[in-house]
């Protein structure tokens, strides 16, 4: 004996809704309004100023004092207090760029502490000469150099913390090397209609002589100037310098250490 299978199709209420022309008009109007509101919201956000905070040379560590000269004294052991103070006083921003030397010495413990303190903040990490690649890549950023598009701006993070293979005649003990692969990448990322911010640890200037471009960075200056859209370059590394220097239409910002003795908690904030 064969069982007879019967199938009954129940028309959905939605089917009836779509057959009604008036309903379709209402639906179409609703979709149009939703899309319009979304576009307007995006344009309003896109056209608002970009607020960026900067922190330099945290030097998170267990060392009590680190002294380069009489004025250049930083206090690594107080990094939690200094960093927390800067973040709290900075207020709301779109991005916070840490300009390298985030650690004083290699330390997984202190790297994790940095992540705990900055949790919930829109951090962008730059590699400094004190930041060992293992901890930097593993915990702070998977890439040494990268870019972020935010509103009308492109933020390009470079790694110039390495030492030249041949340091003869190179300023700053040979630090500041940028490999060819990174340079090729940079040239491609400069091809954009957006205005550009460059963030890199070591300044382009001769140490102790802000305003004079290092000889080994003449080629880099030419790349930035020829792009036509690099507007700002932010660096740390020197600890005590707090300067804005315009050169060839580009403003170079030298940011002092957040852990500098007498100025703990220093930060920089700019509206673009």
Query: d(Cα 141, Cα 127) in Å, to the nearest integer?
Result: 9
pLDDT at 31: 74
Give the Cα separation of 92 and 52 in Å (integer).
9
Are 31 and 97 in the same domain? no
6 occurs within a structural domain: no
Counted residue by residue, the chain has a size of: 272
Distance CA 183, CA 164 (A): 15
Residue ranges making up the domain that contains 22: 17-43
pLDDT mean by block of 10 residues, the chain; 272 residues: 45 59 70 62 70 98 88 95 97 98 93 96 97 87 96 98 87 91 98 98 94 95 98 97 96 98 95 96
Output the pLDDT for position 1.
44
Q: What is the pLDDT of residue 53?
A: 98
In a shared domain, residues 166 and 54 = yes
Which structure tokens are listed for 152?
């009308």
Would you state the pLDDT for residue 2? 46
User: 138 with 257, same domain?
Assistant: yes
The answer to whether 56 and 100 are in contact (CB under 8 A) is yes
Tokens encoding 10:
């129940």
Domain count for the chain, please give it. Answer: 2
The reply to whether 110 falls in a domain is yes
pLDDT at position 73 is 95
Q: Looking at the structure, tell me whether residues 31 and 104 fall in a common domain.
A: no
Say if residue 27 is in the same domain as residue 122. no
The three-state secondary structure class of 131 is coil
């Amino acid at each position: 004996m064969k069982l007879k299978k019967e199938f009954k199709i129940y028309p959905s209420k939605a089917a009836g809704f779509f057959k009604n022309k008036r309903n379709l008009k209402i639906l179409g109007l609703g979709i149009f309004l939703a899309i319009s509101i979304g576009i307007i919201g995006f344009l309003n956000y896109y056209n608002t100023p970009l607020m960026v905070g900067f922190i330099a040379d945290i030097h998170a560590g267990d060392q009590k004092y680190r002294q380069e000269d009489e004025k250049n004294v930083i206090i690594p052991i107080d990094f939690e207090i200094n960093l927390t103070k800067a973040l709290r006083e900075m207020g709301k921003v779109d991005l916070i760029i840490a300009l390298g030397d985030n650690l004083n010495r290699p330390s997984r413990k202190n790297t994790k502490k940095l992540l705990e303190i900055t949790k919930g903040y829109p951090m962008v990490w730059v590699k400094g000469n004190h930041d060992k690649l293992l901890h930097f890549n593993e915990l702070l950023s998977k890439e040494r150099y990268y870019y972020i598009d935010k509103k009308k701006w492109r933020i390009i993070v470079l790694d110039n913390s390495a030492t030249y293979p041949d340091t003869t005649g190179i300023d700053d003990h040979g630090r500041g090397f940028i490999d060819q692969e990174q340079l090729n990448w940079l040239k491609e990322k400069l091809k954009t209609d957006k205005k550009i911010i460059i963030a890199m640890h070591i300044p382009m200037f001769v140490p102790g002589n802000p305003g004079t471009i290092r000889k080994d960075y003449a080629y880099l200056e030419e790349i930035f100037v020829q792009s036509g859209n690099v507007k700002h370059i932010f660096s740390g590394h020197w600890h005590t310098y707090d300067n804005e220097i315009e050169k060839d239409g580009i403003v170079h910002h030298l940011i002092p250490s957040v852990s500098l003795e007498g100025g703990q908690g220093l930060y920089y904030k700019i509206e673009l």
